[in-house]
Structure 1
Amino acid sequence: MLVFTSAIFLLLITPGPGVLSIAGVGAAFGQRAGIRYFLGLLTGTNLVAISVVTGLSGAVLAFPWVFNALFAASICYLTYLAYRIATAGNRIAVVEAKSRPGYWSGILFQALNPKAYVVNTTLFTGFAFMPEAREWEILTKFVIINAIWIPIHILWLWAGSSVRRLDLSEKAHRRINYLMAAAMLSVVALAANSFL
């Protein structure tokens, strides 16, 4: 179980689309919008885990055209989210509530996040520590994963929203947004490169 817990920590703490997006949302739109987005990510990541555990994701992704369509959609959505973060501008420019990613954006993000499927498949199909009680092992894995996932994502949200609360110039705030968007685009580039 210690090896499993260590693997979760290492897989989740490394910058991927989820943590970069929540930090970017926190920096660009503030903590309140970030919390709604966080709750969507949390729901989405657990829905992805359920689809992996039940075999639904494997059955759906067994069709190459479905995989290709979902992969293209994920690349487009991650790029769109990077664009929204980059164009959030300064603190005054993000007043419009309709421009803030919310709960449903978080769910959609995780549904299209390739890392979410890879991580959950790795964690639920590997690291067996209760082979005689598979159902309890799956339940225990859900508890451990969420016990690590939640604080890591809250930490990234706090980091992003802390940057927003700093008394930075409009130019510096825009640069931070650009940096977060560039980090997100680098994840997109890595994902696209691994696919090609």
Structure 2
Amino acid sequence: MLTFAAAVFLLLVTPGPGVLTTAGFGAAYGFRPSLGYVLGLFLGTNMVMLAVISGLAAVVLSIPWLRTVLMAVSVAYLLYLAARIAFAGSRIAFVEAKTPPGLVGGLALQAINPKAYAVNTSLFTGFGFAPGNLGFEIAAKVVILNGIWIPIHLAWLWAGVTLHRLDLPDRTQRAINVGMALAMLAVVFLAIWSAA
């Protein structure tokens, strides 16, 4: 069980679309406006978890054309989120984002987030610790995963909010936003590369 918890921590704390957007929106908009988005991520994570546990994700992703469509939608949405972060609060942006995507935005990201499926699949198909009681093991994994997920994402949000509270000059804030957006683009590149 401790090995599973350590794996959860390491897989969740590493930057992926969820934590990068959480920190980016925290830096760009502050804590309270970004909470709805984080709640959407949480609900979306549990939705993905259920899809993986039930086998629905495996069935859907086994259809080549559908997997390609979902990857294209995923890349497009990640690019959109990267643009939202990059241009948040920027006076020179062609589109200034006034608010972060809310609950629906977080839910949508997790629904098409390749890392969410990869992480949940590896966690639920590996790291067995109760081979004689599959129901207990799945329930324990869900509790452990959520118990670690919440503080990690709130910590990333807090890190972003801390940057926001530093009241950095506009130029520095834009540089941070662009850095976060570039990290998101790196995730997009890795998603495309791993799918190819």
Partner of 1:184: 184
Letter aligned with residue 65 of structure 2: W
Partner of 1:45: 45
Conserved 8 A contact 1:36-1:103: yes
Please give the TM-score of this superposition, normalised by the length of structure 2. 0.94
Structure 1 stretch 10-19 or stretch 45-54: which is displaced more?
10-19
The size of the alignment, in residue pairs, is 193
Conserved 8 A contact 1:33-1:101: no
Partner of 1:58: 58
2-side partners of 1:100 and 1:118: how far apart?
26
| C-alpha deviation, 1:128, in angstroms | 1.0
Partner of 1:117: 117
Deviations 1:101-126 (A, max 9, x none): 10000000000100000000000111
Partner of 1:3: 3
Tell me: CA distance 1:57–1:89, structure 2 relative to 1, closer, same or farther (3 Å). same
Letter aligned with residue 175 of structure 2: R
| C-alpha deviation, 1:190, in angstroms | 1.2
Partner of 2:194: 194
Consecutive unaligned residues of structure 1, counting only runs of 5 or more, are none
Deviations 1:49-70 (A, max 9, x none): 0000001111111100111111
SS of the aligned residue for 2:127 comes to coil
Conserved 8 A contact 2:45-2:110: yes
| C-alpha deviation, 1:90, in angstroms | 4.4
Tell me: CA distance 1:47–1:95, structure 2 relative to 1, closer, same or farther (3 Å). closer
Deviations 1:163-187 (A, max 9, x none): 1111211111111111111111111
| C-alpha deviation, 1:3, in angstroms | 1.0
Q: Post-superposition, which runs of at least 4 consecutive aligned residues in structure 1 deviate over 6 A?
A: none
Does 2:88 match 1:88? yes
Consecutive unaligned residues of structure 2, counting only runs of 5 or more, are none
Structure 1 stretch 81-90 or stretch 145-154: which is displaced more?
81-90
